[in-house]
């Protein structure tokens, strides 16, 4: 039924597995459409109490698919036929609408009647952190690498979750610099519920979910709704919406054109090495990445 995810049910648990391992589970539009469909499929099954979101391969997710082929084909039943995006009730016309669409899509998981547990290993970057953060619980491998490197050259975060899930100082550091933070540290900061050795991650997550699944579905739904409404009273919806407007502005700043120029002239991998090179992590850890580079100004794109 699905091309980019796997869906399984076992007793009270539903498993949704991101399944583009060769792309480090980059979040293409089709994958995201399939994911939201599967979430609703699990929600609609009265036998299911808890959903586990996990991934095949070396990474939970490297973020949104940045390749030109990220757009789903018009034949996909999991995206809107006009926008080729997961359907949110809007086609999001015009420039600068990506972040708005991301947040509207992620509200699907926020409003889902059933709790979602994210099982995170390897890289969890950019859009991958947004997907994990909208879930109800996060269980990570101790050696997982969590970060948001696009803030170094591309734009601000699409879904500005950090002020809601991290201490203020670390929320700023994550949102400004996007450095790699270990799963162990993310647990200490409160973003993850638990950090465990990667060889124990799958079983620990299942045990956690099964324990919660002893609670009836209506009780879980109302508990989730009660907590969500408290965050909404504190302004999380308004905060995330305002972040999407800032993201659109940041993507239109003069220096953002330099990122686009590197992608066009050198290819995506080289552009990522240029972006991360001075930080010496993610693509910047490659020997071919520049250890230093001029500050992006946008002058070369004018």
> From CA 16, how far away is CA 8, in angstroms rounded?
7
Residue 70: CATH number of its domain: 3.90.226.10
Residue 66, token pair as written in the block: 């940045």
Helix axes 98-111, 236-251, angle to 10 degrees: 160
> From CA 166, how far away is CA 146, in angstroms rounded?
13
| pLDDT of amino acid 302 | 42
> From CA 234, how far away is CA 228, in angstroms rounded?
10
What pLDDT, in 10s, does the model give residues 2-40?
Answer: 999 999 999 999 999 999 999 999 999 999 999 999 999
In this prediction, residue 69 has a pLDDT band, given cuts at 50, 70 and 90, of low
Regarding whether 125 and 23 lie in a shared domain, the answer is yes
The total domain count for the chain is: 2
User: Which of these three, 227, 248, 269, is where a domain ends?
Assistant: 248
Regarding whether 264 and 137 lie in a shared domain, the answer is no
Regarding whether 185 and 294 lie in a shared domain, the answer is no
Regarding whether 278 and 166 lie in a shared domain, the answer is no
Structural contact between residues 128 and 170, judged by C-beta atoms closer than 8 angstroms: no
Regarding whether 20 and 166 lie in a shared domain, the answer is yes
Lowest mean pLDDT among 59-73, 123-137, 163-177, 225-239: 59-73
Tell me the pTM.
Answer: 0.95
Residue 213, token pair as written in the block: 């699944």
> Starting from the edge strand earliest in sequence, which strands make up the sheet with 145-147, in order?
123-125, 145-147, 181-182
Regarding whether 24 and 156 lie in a shared domain, the answer is yes
Regarding whether 135 and 278 lie in a shared domain, the answer is no
| pLDDT of amino acid 297 | 86
**pLDDT exceeds 60 at position 301:** no
The DSSP element (H or E) to which 258 belongs, if any, is: helix 256-266
What pLDDT, in 10s, does the model give residues 284-297?
Answer: 999 999 999 999 98
- 3-state DSSP call for residue 27? strand
Regarding whether 283 and 156 lie in a shared domain, the answer is no
What pLDDT, in 10s, does the model give residues 209-259?
Answer: 999 999 999 999 999 999 999 999 999 999 999 999 999 999 999 999 999
Terminus-to-terminus CA distance in the chain, angstroms?
47
**Domain interval for residue 134:** 5-248
Provide mean pLDDT across the span 182-193: 98
The DSSP element (H or E) to which 14 belongs, if any, is: strand 13-18
> What mean pLDDT value characterizes the chain?
95
Regarding whether 218 and 284 lie in a shared domain, the answer is no
Share of the chain above pLDDT 90, in %: 92
């Amino acid at each position: 039924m699905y091309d980019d995810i796997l869906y399984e049910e076992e007793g009270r648990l539903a498993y949704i597995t991101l399944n583009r391992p060769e792309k480090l589970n980059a979040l293409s539009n089709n994958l995201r459409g399939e994911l939201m469909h599967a979430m609703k499929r699990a929600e609609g099954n009265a036998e299911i109490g808890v959903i586990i979101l996990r991934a095949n391969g070396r990474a939970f997710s490297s973020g949104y698919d940045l390749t030109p082929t990220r757009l789903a084909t018009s034949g996909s039943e999991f995206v809107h036929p006009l926008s080729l995006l997961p359907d949110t009730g809007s086609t999001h016309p015009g420039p600068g609408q990506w972040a708005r669409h991301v947040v509207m899509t992620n509200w699907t998981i926020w409003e889902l009647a059933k709790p979602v547990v994210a099982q995170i290993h390897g890289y969890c970057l950019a859009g991958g952190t947004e997907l994990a953060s909208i879930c109800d619980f996060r269980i990570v491998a101790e050696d997982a690498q969590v970060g948001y490197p696009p803030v170094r050259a591309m734009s601000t975060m699409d879904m500005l979750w950090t002020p809601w899930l991290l201490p203020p100082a670390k929320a700023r550091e994550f949102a400004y610099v996007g450095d790699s933070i270990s799963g162990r540290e993310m647990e200490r900061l409160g973003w993850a519920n638990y950090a465990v050795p990667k060889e124990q991650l799958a079983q620990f997550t299942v045990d956690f979910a099964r324990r919660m699944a002893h609670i009836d579905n209506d009780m879980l739904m109302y508990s989730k709704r009660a907590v969500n409404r408290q965050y909404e009273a504190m302004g999380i919806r308004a905060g995330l919406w305002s972040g999407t407007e800032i993201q659109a502005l940041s993507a239109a700043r003069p220096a953002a054109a330099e990122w686009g120029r590197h992608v066009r002239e050198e290819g995506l991998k080289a552009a990522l090495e240029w972006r991360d090179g001075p930080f010496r992590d993610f693509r910047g850890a490659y020997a071919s990445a520049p250890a230093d580079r001029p500050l992006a100004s946008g002058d070369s794109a004018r």
